[in-house]
Chain A
């Protein structure tokens, strides 16, 4: 059995609330989408990749960002939707770089198509940005075991902040849990690896929380049994 050593610092659990802010900017076809993207507030790029995870929904998310979803549902361009959906937001150093990649994909598609597809007036792409308010919960986790046992009780806001928002916030592009576990050395490497394999884009936050709780328990069993 591995005796857990305290990490350099306890994990401070934070919570957050995300406010949606309308920009009033809209796009009805691909050309307009491209034109708006060039100058749009970078917070919109953040929101349309990550903020959607806080949206109420029933069906599994088909694509990993709102641009791809709009391309498929509103202008019925499945090819573009598929190309946009492979854009991995964590692969870019900044939101500006991510925006540039989106523009490249869209321009490539514009070059291929001779006719512009138009969305219905009430199906326009609405550019939204967000304002995130982060606050302390007063909770701290001292050991990875605490994380495993308490993750199912974390609020969805906490989960969003530490597991989703962190990927855009941290230079490492890693979630906060992984970064913290890494400070415990190799003992919890298997837990960190498994965390990295959890796909955050296609489920609701509550499903994601359940999945993480299950995986942590499995990992912990492995760590303890070694």
Chain B
């Protein structure tokens, strides 16, 4: 066993790694390629950062390619992202042209790799048109959707569906995200990497140093939300909830920590709005962190008493998984993949309003033993269901499934 897989075996158990080898044995010789639109920032890049080397360690030739584009391209794909999450946005035809042209340019650059690949995973809408540009492709192409798409804005979905329906299969994080499409739709929740800088155990002095750097008082209760500055993450609602809770817990501090991904041009606008709201409150810390501030985020999550993820829409909510892995109860928005992770009174609470968030903050902050009990359950829950090894096994199994057609039962010898 390689040293990387050996290290994972220490966290997830040797039997889990053995199982991965057994599935991978049937896939030796295949060439697998993942394509997305950013190498830094956001949950997709974080997953691929480890999923790709791990697949390689299992003996499968795997690559990760990133498409690039102009700011207009990302403006267009950001609109897609919002529209797929239900916002009524009209996308200028000029931007659509840029979207398709950008994909054509990337297709030329990636041509030899994608044409010869046996399995291609295309992540999210940004590179979705690529498939259409490879009529001579030899492999199976899968569209992986990481977005909460359960009620997409129809005109934009209709446009994208023309590209997506051509794929051999698609993957969604939850059954409710599945759409009428003419191919098989797999349900695979994402995962976190327990050995990533964002999730490894940290020495106490590093946690203390991080808090000192941002003038956060460790002796007073800390509520934290980690996410991009994005309206769907509802940072304004979190501030509202914090202010309601603070009238009952005057010592309360709120930390809103996040970065912005290179494919999200709207982040600066939301950040400015949040900063304006936070002005004059020394207990409200708005931290705009670079995309590689993984250990800082790790330290903040470990220092927090309660973690909030009050999203209004959420594909899955990897920040929820991260917080749970660190033994924190989570107050999460009652939406998307958060529902799969936050179980009322077990791993945290689902809320629909700032008032609900405030109520649960007060409940959790008054009882350290309850926080600790729920936190332990949360960590166990993640270990059993949402670590990257399970995710990898699902991808490998899916490849096997696709190569065996639509059979319900595949027996490997």
Contact = CB atoms under 8 A, between A and B. Distances in A.
A15 interface: yes
Interface string B337-369: 000100100110000000000000000000000
9 contacts: A19-B398, A19-B401, A22-B175, A24-B181, A132-B409, A132-B410, A133-B401, A133-B410, A134-B410
B64 interface: no
Contact of B394 (A19, A46, A128, A129): A19
Given A19-B394, A126-B176, A133-B401, A24 B185 contact: yes
A15 B188 CA distance: 19
A55 B377 CA distance: 16
A169 B346 CA distance: 35
B176 A131 contact: no
B339 to A, nearest CB: 9
Interface in B359-413: 377, 381, 384-385, 393-394, 397-398, 400-401, 407-413
A134 B401 contact: no
A132 B406 CA distance: 11
B279 interface: no
A20 B175 contact: yes
B87 interface: no
Contacts, number: 93
Interface string B189-212: 000000000000000000000000
Contacts of B26: 135
A186 interface: no
Interface of A: 15, 17, 19-24, 43, 46, 56-59, 122, 124, 126, 128-137, 153, 155, 157, 206
Contacts of A22: 172, 175, 178, 185-187
Contact of A136 (B398, B409, B413): B413
Contact of A134 (B18, B175, B347, B411): B411
A188 B317 CA distance: 50
A58 B377 contact: yes
Contacts of A126: 175-176, 178
A157 B397 CA distance: 13
Nearest to B178: A22
B239 to A, nearest CB: 26
A19 B397 contact: yes
A126 B412 CA distance: 29
Contacts of A155: 15-16, 19
A21 B176 contact: no
A59 B347 CA distance: 12
B393 A24 contact: no
Nearest to B22: A135
A20 B412 CA distance: 19
